[in-house]
Structure 1
Amino acid sequence: PDQLELRRIAHQVREVMAANPHIVDPHLEWDERAPVLHLAMDVERLRLLGLTPQDVAQQLQFHLEGTRIAQVRQDIRTVDVIARGASGGARLNAESLSMLEILTPDGRKLPASQLGRLEVRFEEPVIKRYNREPELLVQADVQGAQPNDVTAAVWASLAGVRSQLPPGYSIMISGAVEQSGKADASIQALQPLMVACMLIFIMLQMRSFTGTFVVLATAPLGLVGAVIALLLFDQPFGFVALLGLTGLAGILMRNTLILTQQVADNFEAGMGPFDGVVEAAVQRARPVVLTAIAAAFAFIPLTLDTFWGPLAYVLIGGVAVGTAITLLFVPALYALLFRLGADAQAGGPA
């Protein structure tokens, strides 16, 4: 792709982004084109002097940057020995560069100006590539809205620009939104394996499909508290918050496993079905609630972190509200599924 055409398209994208009220400081990553001094060599004259463009380039490099002539050992490192002309390292103007001496094969020294023409050209100071193609990023900050929402709005506004792109050019979403999408995709790729392993372990513990359903049914209960916490504190629902929801589901299912195990212990102790379920909720309420409170307080310092803040709010709100709902939901669901009532006789569910 032509760099000038790429810059023209980037300026159009920047204008569209600047029109969005939530976009702050849209700018191009390449900055402005910088002046560069070029020596346009006279190939015919070089041939008459017995020189090649490579010979001239090597001698200019010797004068300006230096040439490696040897290497020496310094402790465990190898250090290059650089030979450089007397003017090397100094800031030279066009006139000084034109007077740099070039040595010919017959021993004569000629100024560089006699071997070609010095030209000032404007070039890109930095050219970054993506998939080996030139890439020009248009960057900006987001203020007063979620990045995903702003990105969607800008992408819709760019429909006209995208429809008029020349062949070989494209506009893609990059930056934080792209990285968040990649992170979400990496989690989704492992989710089937994670769910399968989780089901296996829960079924080994519960040894019944109904009991497994009771445990799994509590997994989404923490979403109520998580959403409330995110809305109250104006936190984004992104990759980090998604991680928090995954951990939150595990915490609530663990509490349910503890509660159902207490129900089974009560049945073995001779309690009736209804009394066994109710008593299990009462017996496990204190340790479960205290554990939830301790976990919520433990995550409070993490709320001050910009990156991990959403995860902390998800866990604090989800654990607090989800635990309270679990203590009420599990006994009710357990009694409903196993058809337990206050007049049920002694003996556990089949």
Structure 2
Amino acid sequence: VGILVALMILAVYGFGFVKQSFFPSSTRPQFMVHYWLPQGTHISRTEADIKKIEQHLLKTEGVTDVASFVGRGSLRFLLTYAPEDANSAYGMLLVGVEDYKRIKDLRPLIQDYLNANFPDAQAFSRPFVLGPGDPQKIQARLRGPDPDVLRRLAGEVREIMRNEPTATDVMDDWRQRVPLIRPVVAETQARNAGITRSDIARTLQVAFEGTAAGVYREGDKLLPIVVRAPESERDNVSNIHDVPLWSPTAGRAVSISQYIVDFETQSENTIIRRRDRLPTITVKCDPKVGEASEVFARLRPAIENRFEQLADELHLAGYSLEWGGEYEDSRNAQTALWGKIPAIGLLMVLMVVFLFNTIRQPLIIFLTVPLAVIGVSAGLLSTNQPFGFMALLGFMSLAGMLIKNAIVLIDEINTQLRTDKDPFVAVVDSGVSRVRPVSMAALTTVLGMLPLVTDAFFVSMAVAIMFGLTFATVLTLIVVPVLYVLFYRIPSPKPTG
């Protein structure tokens, strides 16, 4: 018993060194390249950059095909892929490769090319995952009523993430503030001339952006006819003072500057996201290498401490910090799973109690279930597999297998005792006689799990079941007889002669 307790303590301690992950990367021979220019960039600039990147990727050894998307993500072609919203500064490329194993080597090469040739852009590559498809796994959500305060808080969080050497690709989902020129209308002069703010807005749109005047049909395509000023005029913002504006009162076009007091240069948020109707900015990052849980464990206390300091310094009320990304997805999945365990566990206990019509024997049976921790911990550490959602399912499925083994052994002990055999001898003989059937049942299960070891999705579950069942079966054949002797206070036979 002392050895068993020591093994359990060692297994629980060793489990703290097991990597944590939600879902593994996919074996799909394709990965994504996300490309972000500063917010407000014209889509023609984004398109030109994406075209250059696409041409470079097609020349890269190991790449078979490239599909590019400008202004928004692709249509949702995969359940775990979450497309980006429409944004003129965003582009995405889907890169196909000969073998998914080459993705690990190609991504650093592509990242170096992007960093060297597009310094003003934020670009990063991501493999597909067998789980929620947000590109960044570590996310801090800041919520509150004032967007300017949220911007300041987000800046502090970004700084902490950038200072973490194991974190990369730091960004937020509000992007940068966009500079703009806002005309200050001379209300009295404009009203006397019969000019409204809408007239001024439409005139400026025609002069710089253009407005649709009709549609031209070419085959099965409808091409918009856009009216706008010549490129030489609209590319120079200083021409804004000389834009002609039609005056209904004067019956002719006059300079727009006659009705504008000044043009103010400002900046504004073009993206304000809300969650439950409250402005929410999400700061994101990813681990450079390894699992996101390890980087998250280092970032979380630093960010939470800084948020509390700012909340005290600025006397913030109504602001909160929440954690999203992989941490939230994993917690929600495990909460939903563990929420059903009490009812199922109670049902299992009642079934075993009804089976043996006693309390002590079911207690012996269920005391063997924690033995699986020893094998699971040793298996995940030795194979360097993370403990994720699939490993959790494997760990939970071990309970039924171990209960079945213990039931077989307890039932044999009861059968032997009914033959009026000495209790101690009956326990020993039962353990010996059940070694082969219990071991063979465990062995067939372990062999059935072997094909899953090569599968990226099921490997952690297979390792948990194989190692957990192997260790627990061996220990069960020893522990159940020992516990039976202890619970029923069966004395060892006295030596004869």
TM (normalized to structure 2)? 0.53
Q: CA separation in 2, counterparts of 1:262 and 1:101?
A: 99
1:126 to 271, 276, 279: 271
Cα shift readout 1:50-92 (whole Å, capped 9, x = no counterpart): 665568768989996769xxxxxxxxxxxxx99976459x9x6
Offset, 1:21: 3.2
Q: Match for 1:22: what amino acid?
A: T
Give the 3 Å change call, closer, same or farther, for CA 283–235 of structure 1 in structure 2: closer
Cα shift readout 1:147-198 (whole Å, capped 9, x = no counterpart): 4454343233342453123214443333222332333333343332232222
Structure 1 residue 223 corresponds to structure 2 residue 373 = yes
Q: Match for 2:408: what amino acid?
A: I
Give the 3 Å change call, closer, same or farther, for CA 327–34 of structure 1 in structure 2: same
Secondary structure in structure 2 of the residue aligned to 1:299: helix
2:441 to 280, 288, 293: 288
Q: Match for 2:165: what amino acid?
A: P
Give the 3 Å change call, closer, same or farther, for CA 36–200 of structure 1 in structure 2: farther
Which residue number in structure 2 is paired with residue 164 of structure 1? Answer: 310
Contact 2:195/2:248 (<8 A) preserved:
yes
Structure 1 residue 141 corresponds to structure 2 residue 286 = yes
Q: CA separation in 2, counterparts of 1:137 and 1:277?
A: 61
Structure 1 residue 177 corresponds to structure 2 residue 323 = no
Structure 1 residue 255 corresponds to structure 2 residue 405 = yes
Q: Match for 1:30: what amino acid?
A: W
Which residue number in structure 1 is paired with residue 177 of structure 2? Answer: 33
Offset, 1:300: 1.2
Contact 2:272/2:279 (<8 A) preserved:
yes
Contact 1:244/1:315 (<8 A) preserved:
yes
Structure 1 residue 21 corresponds to structure 2 residue 165 = yes
The higher relative CO (CA closer than 8 Å, separation ≥ 6) is in 2
Contact 1:266/1:280 (<8 A) preserved:
no
Cα shift readout 1:6-41 (whole Å, capped 9, x = no counterpart): 333322222222333332343333333333455555
Which residue number in structure 2 is paired with residue 278 of structure 1? Answer: 431
Contact 1:225/1:322 (<8 A) preserved:
yes
Larger Rg: 1
| Greater helix share, structure number | 1
Which residue number in structure 1 is paired with residue 219 of structure 2? Answer: none
Contact 2:204/2:243 (<8 A) preserved:
no
Q: CA separation in 1, counterparts of 2:249 and 2:400?
A: 79
Structure 1 residue 232 corresponds to structure 2 residue 377 = no
Q: CA separation in 2, counterparts of 1:253 and 1:114?
A: 88
Which residue number in structure 1 is paired with residue 107 of structure 2? Answer: none
Cα shift readout 1:295-318 (whole Å, capped 9, x = no counterpart): 44143134x33xx54433322321
Q: CA separation in 2, counterparts of 1:104 and 1:200?
A: 88
Give the 3 Å change call, closer, same or farther, for CA 322–83 of structure 1 in structure 2: same
Which residue number in structure 2 is paired with residue 7 of structure 1? Answer: 151
| Greater strand share, structure number | 2
1:1-350 mapped onto 2 (5 Å cutoff): 1-36=145-180, 38=182, 41-44=185-188, 47-48=191-192, 53=197, 86-87=227-228, 93=235, 121-143=266-288, 147-158=292-303, 159-165=305-311, 166=314, 167-168=316-317, 169-265=319-415, 270=419, 272=421, 273=423, 274=426, 277-302=430-455, 304-305=456-457, 309-340=459-490
Which ranges in structure 2 are unaligned for 5 or more consecutive residues? Answer: 1-144, 214-221
Which residue number in structure 1 is paired with residue 75 of structure 2? Answer: none
Q: CA separation in 2, counterparts of 1:8 and 1:322?
A: 53
Cα shift readout 1:67-119 (whole Å, capped 9, x = no counterpart): 9xxxxxxxxxxxxx99976459x9x6555998597796999888877765765
Give the 3 Å change call, closer, same or farther, for CA 277–9 of structure 1 in structure 2: same
Q: CA separation in 2, counterparts of 1:282 and 1:161?
A: 59
Give the 3 Å change call, closer, same or farther, for CA 106–311 of structure 1 in structure 2: farther
Contact 1:64/1:84 (<8 A) preserved:
no
Contact 1:256/1:326 (<8 A) preserved:
yes
Offset, 1:216: 0.7
Secondary structure in structure 2 of the residue aligned to 1:290: helix
Offset, 1:228: 1.0
> Identity rate of aligned residues, in percent?
25
Q: CA separation in 2, counterparts of 1:264 and 1:298?
A: 38
Q: Match for 2:151: what amino acid?
A: R
Offset, 1:229: 1.6
Give the aligned length.
Answer: 329
Q: Match for 1:282: what amino acid?
A: V
Q: CA separation in 2, counterparts of 1:104 and 1:207?
A: 98
* Aligned alpha-carbon RMSD (Å): 4.3
Which ranges in structure 1 are unaligned for 5 or more consecutive residues? Answer: 68-80, 345-350
Give the 3 Å change call, closer, same or farther, for CA 98–335 of structure 1 in structure 2: farther
Q: Match for 2:400: what amino acid?
A: G
